[in-house]
Structure 1
Amino acid sequence: MILTKLLFIVLIIVCALFYILYIWDFALVLLIVMIALPIIMFVSTLIAKRSIKVEFAVKDKNAVKFKDFPVQLVVTNNSIFPIGKAEAKVEYYNSFSKDISSFDLFLPIQPRNSQRVTFQLNSKFCGTIKIRTLYLNIYDPLRIFKFRTASNIHTEVTIMPEGHDIGGIVHYSDRVNEESDLFSEHRPGDDPSEVFDLREYNAGDKLNRIHWKLSSKKDDFIVKDYSLPIDVPCMLFIDLKCYSENDSALPVTDTLIETFLSISQFLLDNERCHSVVFFNASQNQFAEYSITSSADLASVVKALIASVDDMRYCQKPDVYFTENDSLSFASFTYISSDFNEKLLDSIDEEVEADFKNAVIIIDDIDKTASLGGGYSSLNVIPVVVGRISASIKDIDI
């Protein structure tokens, strides 16, 4: 572009000398045209710059890992002046990582028209893929002038985590929410406030469960099976603080979130309602969500991913346990990528629960030996990055 400017300066000087040496009307017209042409290019491109609108178009804001998803850069030129060349600098990154990637897009922009450039992105880790423009450079048709616009136009796509099959036992407890109306659809229980099923009498059935009115009509003893409450105080606590600043940060965080998803889905599959607590950076506080269905879980996963800001700030879990010093649950599961012995000692001694687990994400199987046990009621479960199913085989929850 500098050479083009120098060329025009030389041509203007030559035309001026030509006009001085030859007193012709053609020489004057040529000089005027050579002087006016850059001015026209400047003014028309400046008008076009002020008439350009840039945005991203994403068909689906949610995508799955390892699969390409399309993103469109839409440039609308509302002026009557065409742009022969435009170049956009686009960068993207995962909110769980500081690694930024970028690429260039080249396109012409027709007058009173929209140009769409489609590009494909993918991610092998869950998280929020944030996409933004650094700039859009536009050039006049003669490539004399360049104008910069559309900085920091942005959009984002959520890469959803994948659930994994895990093994374990879901224990049923007497600690239930007595005001709840959530009962098992598959298992009977001992809650007389709701009838689960009616069946014929079997030896050993309690007499107070006989449905006398219905039995008199059927000429046989009919017994009521009571319902099993599933609204049990069961909590998953997720420590989202990133303790890895190297290449393992993304895979560790990915495994952390997928571990939570797998345990939560395991509880739902066994009809166990539960709650989850994590630090929400956008709210600057610990947030608690109840999960009673797959729809709740999907909503919580999105909120979990969205809760991490670009600074990846997360309050230490010690703060939550200090502020909530009388916790009582049927089961409590702590999920983190940091083996904090002092905190685990505190959970072991101060959190009241029938079953307590500490699920620790590690990036190397050799670190398993360093995760000591010796807790009176806390079960420590190491989970190797990318090996959730193999790591969680016998969780009691």
Structure 2
Amino acid sequence: MIGTLLISVVWLLFTLAFFIFTTTHFALLFAVGSLIVWLWLVLSVYLVKGKIQCEIITANEIFKNEQMGYQLRIHNTSRLSVTQLQLHLVIEHIFTGRQESHHHVLSIPAKCTEEFAFVLPQKYMGQVNIRIKQLTIKDSFTFFRSVQKLDTQSAMLIVPNPYFLKLQRIEQNQHVLQTPGMIPMKKIDGEELAELSVYKLGDSVKRIHWKLSSKGDELFVKQHETLTGDAVMMTLDFTSFTNRVALYDEFIETFSALLYSYVASDHVVQFILNHSTGEQLTIDNERDAANAIKKVLTRNATELSMSDEQWKKLRRTYPNCIVLTTNIARSTEYQTVVISDQKEESSV
């Protein structure tokens, strides 16, 4: 606004001085022409102010592998066209709080409505909010401008692409950095290989997993339990995800793959959604799995994080619960899958 006023004052003073100190017809024509051009540029900005309406069009829900984009619908109700309309957008990942600013420069004819399509710059997952913070109207020569604050926004939910894991070889999944924890395996002689743990003094030598131990520096022991049914207890433990969209994606994709894989293997999953309220979901088909994933995507970090006390209570109440976490400090707990955004080659 200050720059616009300064340009206007300097322009008028120069035109007036040129007209006063130059006694020719050209000076008069220059003064009149300058005044007309000046008025046109000013009016092309300020007569349009308040007559531009913006709308963001997004899909309510899409899969990550689909084209992720949004449309801007611009209404110009003024009788003047806008040669340069600059939009300032902010794309925010709701869970992690990560924000990215983008600017779009458009031109809109008079009395016209136009739509413009844009693609999201990154492959987000989860809830994404697209918000227009302000629009700036400029004249043809960008001498004058008018800034208008806006709060136009639209949200979209991006869900993970469904895929399955081989539950008996989950340690080979590149998205899961497996610690000495729960590795679901196939049935063996009426029993299920429930977990692998580091060898401790007193463990039977017959239970050492020689093939896996030969590829590392530690001995792993096979732990079996008698099959009591097809039920699987499962929960999540979110830790710090501030601005870490890649880590969030790894976490959600691993959770989704495990959930769909258990359902496809005719398991019933008892999923603990909220440790404070004890809210649980029973999942035994793909539709239930999809709904559970959406519920997780629309929750905040507080609802999906466990305190130390809640963690201890979980271990006492559900000793066989599979926990997906990013907290490496808890990786010593059995049946814990630690997620990381630093993909590593599998050692198996």
TM-score normalized with structure 2 length: 0.65
- 5 Å-filtered alignment, 1:162-241, equals 162=161, 163-165=163-165, 166-167=167-168, 168=184, 235-240=233-238
Give the corresponding residue for 1:347.
314
Query: How many angstroms apart in 2 are the aligned matches of 1:4 and 1:75?
Result: 29
Partner of 2:81: 82
Alignment match, 1:307: 299
**CA deviation after TM superposition for structure 1 residue 54, in Å:** 0.8
Task: Give the C-alpha shift of residue 274 in structure 1.
Answer: 3.5
Letter in 2 for 1:359: V
User: For residues 297 and 41 of structure 2, what CA distance do their matches in structure 1 show?
Assistant: 48
Distance apart, 1:265 and its partner CA: 1.4
**Shift in alpha-carbon separation, 1:278–1:170, aligned structure 2, 3 A:** farther
Q: What is the Cα deviation at residue 75 of structure 1?
A: 1.6
Residue 131 of structure 1 pairs with residue 136 of structure 2 = no
Q: Supply the AA of the counterpart residue of 2:50.
A: R
Match of 2:201 in 1: none
Q: 1:38 to 1:290 in 2, by over 3 A?
A: farther
Summarize the Cα distance change of 1:164–1:356 in structure 2 as closer, same or farther, 3 Å threshold: same
**Shift in Å, 1:287:** 4.8
Q: 1:169-204, CA deviations, whole angstroms, 9 ceiling, x for partnerless residues?
A: 6999xxxxxxxxxxxxxxxxxxxxxxxxxxxxxxxx
The alpha carbon displacement at 1:237 in A equals 2.7
Structure 2: which 5+ residue stretches go unaligned? 169-183, 191-228
Q: Which has the larger radius of gyration?
A: 1
Match of 2:248 in 1: 253
What amino acid is aligned across from residue 340 of structure 2 in structure 1?
V
Which of the numbers 236, 240, 243 marks the counterpart of 1:243? 240
* TM superposition shift of 1:92: 1.7
How far the C-alpha of 1:158 sits from its partner, in A, is 2.6
Q: Which residue of 1 aligns with 2:257?
A: 262
| Residue matched to 2:175 | none
1:51-103 CA-to-partner distances (Å, cap 9, x unmatched) read 211112235741415x6523222222111111121212223232233432223
Partner of 1:371: 331
3-state DSSP of counterpart to 1:253: helix
Moved more, 296-305 or 122-131: 122-131
1:341-379 deviation per Cα after TM superposition (whole angstroms, max 9, x unaligned): x54443333x1x5x613424348xxx58x7335xxxxx4
Matched, 1:359 2:328: no
- Residue number in structure 2 paired with 1:382: 337
Post-superposition CA distance 1:246-274 (Å, at most 9, x none) = x7x43433333233322321231133344
Structure 1 contact 237–277 (Cα < 8 Å) conserved: yes
- SS of structure 2 residue aligned to 1:304: helix
Pairs aligned (count): 287
Task: Report sequence identity in percent.
Answer: 15
CA contact 1:4–1:144 (8 Å) conserved in 2: yes
Distance 1:158 1:315, change over 3 A: closer
Aligned residue for 2:101?
Answer: 102
Contact 1:234 1:273 (8 Å CA) reproduced: yes
Tell me how far apart the structure 2 counterparts of residues 59 and 380 of structure 1 sit (CA, whole Å): 38
**2:103 aligned counterpart, secondary structure:** strand
Aligned partners of 2:74 and 2:250: how far apart in 1?
Answer: 38
Distance 2:326 2:247 in 1: 7
Match for 1:132: what amino acid? R
- Where 1:268 maps in the other structure, the secondary structure is helix
Secondary structure of 2:321's counterpart equals strand
Q: Specify whether residues 279 and 15 from structure 1 end up closer, same or farther in structure 2 by C-alpha distance, changes over 3 A only.
A: farther
SS across alignment from 1:13? helix
2:283 to 283, 291, 307: 291
Distance change >3 Å, CA 5–CA 147, structure 1 → 2:
same
Task: Give me the whole-angstrom Cα distance separating, in 1, the residues matched to 2:326 and 2:260.
Answer: 22
The residue number in structure 1 matching 2:45 is 45
The SS at the match of 2:267 is coil
Query: Closer, same or farther in 2 for the Cα pair 1:51/1:273, shift >3 Å?
Result: same
Mapped to 2, the partners of 1:49 and 1:158 lie a distance apart of 33
Query: Per the alignment, do residues 123 and 285 of structure 1 end up closer, same or farther by CA in structure 2, a change over 3 Å counting?
Result: farther
Contact 2:63 2:160 in 1 (8 A): no
Q: 1:261 to 1:360 in 2, by over 3 A?
A: closer
Partner residue, 1:208 = none
